[in-house]
Amino acid sequence: MHSVLSPALVGIYERAVSRSSGEVEFHQALLEVLESISPVVERHPEYIESGVVEVLVEPERQIMFRVPWVDDNGTVQVNRGFRVQYNSALGPYKGGLRFHPSVNLSIMKFLGFEQIFKNALTGQGIGGAKGGSDFDPHGRSDGEIMRFCQSFMSELYRHLGEHTDVPAGDIGVGGREIGYLFGQYRRLTNRHESGMFTGKGVLWGGAQVRTEATGYGAVFFMQEMLNTRGEAIDGKTAIVSGSGNVAIYAIEKIAQLGGRAITASDSSGYVVDEAGIDVELLKQVKEVERGRISDYVDRRPGARLVTNGRVWDVPGQLAFPSATQNELLIGDAQRLVANGVLGVAEGANMPTTPDAVELFQDAGVLFGPGKAANAGGVATSALEMSQNASRQRWDFGTSEGRLHSIMKDVHRSAYEAAEHYGRPGDYVVGANASGFRRVADAMIAQGLI
């Protein structure tokens, strides 16, 4: 089930790579998308003739800026801030902010490019963007986090707005950071523009289920994939990487549907809990205390910590890579297949390397790519925007019901597109093809801009 780049797209890919030297993560994401849409452009040459693909691969706007701030010792620190506003054909730019030392332009472009198609798949009328900084929030005091966020927003605010660009959280940007960022935006603009940021606290404009949405959505997507084979999550063991927002709520929803997630991880190692991860204890350690995964083991009888292996060594029928990009390698995929994995749903963005994706597909493993499987987060962000615009608040059940319905639609769109383009069961092709056509048709309709 390997993809091949259409001859019509080779020149577009080569020109994009030559203009972005050294941006390896972006090159990887670009090649995956172009390979996936090859069956589309071969059947619809108007996408090449119109130049829409050539235009689409170049961001509409790239913003880079310095972020000076003062730490608790009175020392001046300087970080670099980014916002890549990639495409707004379907609506205002929408995508998270990531605070992590690994952040650079390549990662921002890869994430922003992926976001275009993910957002299109939701059907919610939002464009694609991504941003962040190489700032590391770990070990920083609340005061340091606040001063950094205020400095960051003092530059970025001029590029944002509910009709222009609506950020959200990502790695390193949770409720605390969003609060400080939103507060500074409000201070600078003299507007309580609730719809310009999503993932806010429920008391000041946030939506129910936004915190849970990405993890819940990945599990809903897995459920839909399994349904195509007469399977279910109930009774199955799941391997989950990460211990942030996505992983925690994937673990929670797996348990609610009768499955058993037995792993979680962070940069210090991974935990195996054969009884099933105690999600309330994990929330306490990670969300309240901001501790390490080893703190979970210290308080959970029967759990063990592994510091020198791979979480994918643990046998399970379902896998949810939910930590970061390129975390699941070819060797990991081989072990998962050997251990009888049935399905993989990406909670993180591009966590599975291309050769590992091919191995899963060749082995007949259900594989849900991030732009489809983790679209629940941004879908619920769009629902938050709707509630802000109408000054309404939906209850938890209503919001979760809307999320579940959207994830079913995302699955159906990807599944049907894969069938239509002669790649049945290939959700990578299906998700990219469906998202691409929605964006490309809108771009053609709006002219060369």
The answer to whether the annotation marks 198 as part of a ligand binding site is no
The answer to whether the annotation marks 214 as part of a ligand binding site is yes
The answer to whether the annotation marks 430 as part of a ligand binding site is no
Distance CA 24, CA 302 (A): 41
First-last CA distance in the chain: 36
The answer to whether the annotation marks 200 as part of a ligand binding site is no
In 3D space, the residue among 271, 349, 288, 328 whose CA is nearest the CA of residue 102 turns out to be 349
Neighbours of 441 (CB within 10 A): 16
Nearby residues of 197 by Cβ (< 8 Å), 6 or more positions away? 160, 166, 167, 168, 178, 181, 182, 185
Distance CA 105, CA 13 (A): 18
- Is the Cβ–Cβ distance between 35 and 428 less than 8 Å? no
Clarify whether 130 is annotated catalytic: yes
Pairing of strands 76-87, 61-70: antiparallel
Q: Which of 130, 200, 253, 286 is catalytic?
A: 130
The answer to whether the annotation marks 245 as part of a ligand binding site is yes
- Is the Cβ–Cβ distance between 407 and 224 less than 8 Å? yes
**To 10 degrees, the CA torsion angle through 43, 49, 53, 58?**
170
Indicate the annotated binding residues.
Answer: 94, 115, 118, 169, 214, 245, 381
Indicate the annotated binding residues for substrate.
Answer: 94, 115, 118, 169, 381
The residues annotated as belonging to the active site are 130
Indicate the annotated binding residues for NAD(+).
Answer: 214, 245
